[in-house]
Structure 1
């Protein structure tokens, strides 16, 4: 078995996993997807899987929430996400087992694209996928109350714990200059190019869905275009695919240079 560089899978954990996967043949670390968790591709008798393992309290909380979201979405077809398989809590670490999905992140696909036209097509398909998500009406996901108010409260908690890049001055500015409310929709909640997967030249799948809920769709759009804002053609390609609305500069800055600093 190939052992990961950041986290070794011990026998006790392997025994728990093999109840679902069957005999495990390999466990290979996927460094590209390891920002908040150690991520392994598991090759086993029953197929291929992804195992995410988190250790820091904040990220363990996120992983537990992601497991709950995937479990809710297991029986639906509208929102393309990995399939929930199993969730394990241990002392000091949590683990989420899900289906392995072919493809690469949009970040990698853009980096390796052979032409500007290929990049534009990728961003257009990203916009199309996000549009479908924001237009989805599903009882699987719901959020009562004001999503933005809840996010500001979470930001305050992370700030007090020293677990974010934002500071008190920025948070108070966000509270004092809140954007006008818009209709809440199903959102991804961390919709960066790292958190969608490309297969056959199109963006087809959402990953890292701990933040998926009903909330402000402008947050998704701001994070979706954050890495391509300097390229007007790629930004336009995204909006061509998305088609629902465009962010004002104030809206973009509120989320990308404001709220996101705390997450």
Structure 2
């Protein structure tokens, strides 16, 4: 555990800490969490008012993603349809960005599956995941998230930018292939935008909250679906359990290949 004072000098200018304490009260303790993604560092903050999460990014690409996540959470503060952390503030420094949000109990679905004691428990978790995602995709319109752009086209433009600036593992050849072989369009819905098992929280055996929502927008639900099943796509029992919960649409092998093994390579 790093002390509050060590982290104060490591992450922020003095006035930014004052801004944070002005929102959530005097910080008593601050812990770096063990589960970290490759794009950010995450700390749990404890004050007399409660527990909060501070998410920090330090590279240009990832600070932009964190800013996008902050904007999404801020928009969603006023609604109850989508379960996400509560937004409290966003702070930008010259070389870093920091998002303050509510700390939510639970563990990520990836960890829940690893800790499951039986195949039956794993299938129950996956079925719950499918049902939770189905509820999200049932929202066909939400003005808060509608950017009035062609989602797939905008993703391909971002991918091209990342290729030109060396910010992705995806190749220019793959990108040209994706541009030339777009799938037929489907009805757009609210999507998570990075719906892997790492980005869903589980409480009491049920998937119940989305995290890492920088890509949440109106878009193609097949992208979410493909990322959701990517870790068990070759396990027929687990896929069956997912679709027992999802019950909406089943991506074809071609669609899965396009979204998970194609488009996702750039993000």
Match of 2:231, SS state, is: coil
Instruction: Indicate the residue corresponding to 1:168 in structure 2.
Output: 172
> Which of 139, 142, 146 is the equivalent residue of 1:142?
146
> Which of 39, 43, 55 is the equivalent residue of 1:40?
43
> Which of 236, 244, 250 is the equivalent residue of 2:248?
244
Which shows bigger deviation, 135-144 or 145-154?
135-144
Query: Whole-Å Cα distance in 2 between the matches of residues 15 and 71 of structure 1?
Result: 21
- Structure 1 vs Structure 2 CA RMSD: 1.7
Query: Whole-Å Cα distance in 1 between the matches of residues 80 and 44 of structure 2?
Result: 24
2:89 counterpart of 1:86: yes
Instruction: Indicate the residue corresponding to 2:25 in structure 1.
Output: 22
Match of 1:27, SS state, is: strand
How far residue 9 of structure 1 moved from its aligned partner, in angstroms, is 4.1
How far residue 27 of structure 1 moved from its aligned partner, in angstroms, is 1.2
Match of 2:56, SS state, is: strand
How far residue 35 of structure 1 moved from its aligned partner, in angstroms, is 2.0
TM-score by length of 2: 0.94
Query: Whole-Å Cα distance in 2 between the matches of residues 40 and 3 of structure 1?
Result: 11
Which shows bigger deviation, 252-261 or 26-35?
26-35
> Structure 2: any 5+ residue segments left out of the alignment?
none
Segments ≥4 residues shifted beyond 6 Å: 4-7
2:196 counterpart of 1:192: yes
How far residue 93 of structure 1 moved from its aligned partner, in angstroms, is 0.6
Measured at CA, do residues 3 and 176 of structure 1 come closer, stay the same or move farther in structure 2, by a change above 3 Å?
farther
Query: Whole-Å Cα distance in 2 between the matches of residues 107 and 29 of structure 1?
Result: 20
8 Å Cα contact 2:12-2:93 kept in structure 1: no
Instruction: Indicate the residue corresponding to 2:112 in structure 1.
Output: 109
How far residue 256 of structure 1 moved from its aligned partner, in angstroms, is 0.8
8 Å Cα contact 1:193-1:224 kept in structure 2: yes
How far residue 117 of structure 1 moved from its aligned partner, in angstroms, is 0.6
Instruction: Indicate the residue corresponding to 2:2 in structure 1.
Output: 2
Q: How many aligned positions are there?
A: 263
8 Å Cα contact 2:68-2:214 kept in structure 1: yes
8 Å Cα contact 2:109-2:207 kept in structure 1: yes
In the TM superposition, what whole-angstrom CA distance separates every residue of 1:72-122 from its partner, at most 9, and x where no partner exists? 100110000000001111111111000000000000000110111111010
Query: Whole-Å Cα distance in 2 between the matches of residues 169 and 214 of structure 1?
Result: 27
Query: Whole-Å Cα distance in 1 between the matches of residues 52 and 253 of structure 2?
Result: 41
TM-score by length of 1: 0.96
How far residue 69 of structure 1 moved from its aligned partner, in angstroms, is 0.5
Which shows bigger deviation, 43-52 or 29-38?
29-38
Which shows bigger deviation, 1-10 or 248-257?
1-10
Query: Whole-Å Cα distance in 2 between the matches of residues 246 and 30 of structure 1?
Result: 36
In the TM superposition, what whole-angstrom CA distance separates every residue of 1:10-33 from its partner, at most 9, and x where no partner exists? 562433311112111111111313
How far residue 140 of structure 1 moved from its aligned partner, in angstroms, is 1.9
Query: Whole-Å Cα distance in 1 between the matches of residues 22 and 7 of structure 2?
Result: 24
How far residue 45 of structure 1 moved from its aligned partner, in angstroms, is 1.9
In the TM superposition, what whole-angstrom CA distance separates every residue of 1:153-172 from its partner, at most 9, and x where no partner exists? 00000111111111011111
8 Å Cα contact 1:71-1:84 kept in structure 2: yes
